[in-house]
Structure 1
Amino acid sequence: MQASYNATLLLDTENSFQPDVTLCTPPRKGGRVWLNKAGYLCGSPEFVVEIASSTASIDLRDKLRVYRRLEVAEYLVWRTEDAEMDWFILEEGQYVKLKADRHGRQRSRIFPGLVLDVAAALAGDKKKVLAALR
C-alpha cells in the first residue's frame, strides 16, 4: 500500500481533486494509479479520504459521484462540523455505507489490517486509534 497526502489526483480528463489521503496499491502489484511526468498522481486509487467541514456537501455529492464512476473501491468522508464519518464501499457499482462491527470499528475490505475505531477517531484519542490497528 502506498499513501499520499494532499496530492493532486488527476482522475480523468475532466476531474482533478486533492484528497486529504489517497491509499493505493503500487502499479506493479495491480494498482491503477501512477505518477505522470509532472509528478501528479493519475488514475483511480483504491481508497480516498476527505476531511470535510464546509465542503461536506461537495464531498458527499459531486466527488462521491466521480469516485463511484471511476470505481474508487472505498471512500471515507470525515464531516468535522457534524462529528461524523461516512465510509463508503463500492458494491455492484454503487456506494453503500460500511457498517461498524460490535466494537464500533470499521474495517477496510481492500486493505486488510486497516481498521478505524470511529469513536476514538472522533474523540481525538490517538492511542485507541492506533490500538485498533494492531
Structure 2
Amino acid sequence: MSKIKFELEFPIHASPTMLYQYFSSPSALGEWFADNVNSRGVMYTFMWDGVEEEAKRLANKNDERTRFKWVEDEDPNSYFEFRIQIDAITKDVSLIVTDFAEEDEIEEAKLLWENQIGELKQTIGA
C-alpha cells in the first residue's frame, strides 16, 4: 500500500540561516528532533529511547531545505523534508514539513510533527 503525501506549514520567527542549521546538522537535530543524531556522510542515525532509525539524506540545499528517506521504509516514493519558505512581501519565514503516511495514520503523523516543531520553536526561542 502506498503512502499519502502531506505538508504542514509552521510560521517560525527566526532567520532562515539559523533555522536551516536546526534541520541540517546532526547535533542540532539532536536538540529537538531525536534524543541523539549521528551521521556518516549522507547516512544519519536517529535515536529515541534507545531505538535507532537510519535515514539517508537525499537532498540538501543551504539555507533552504533538507530531505531524508528512512532506510526501513519500503515505499520507494516516500521521504520527509524540511523546507524554508519566505513570503516575498512580508518576509515572514515558515518551515514546510513534507512527509508520507498510511491513510489511517495521517492525523497521528500530523500531531507528531506539531509536537516536534513545538520542540524546535522552544529550542530556538521562536
Which of the five TM-score ranges fits, normalised by the shorter chain? Answer: under 0.3
Write 1 or 2 for the structure with the bigger share of strand: 2
Q: TM-score, normalised by structure 2?
A: 0.27
Q: TM-score, normalised by structure 1?
A: 0.26
Write 1 or 2 for the structure with the bigger share of helix: 2
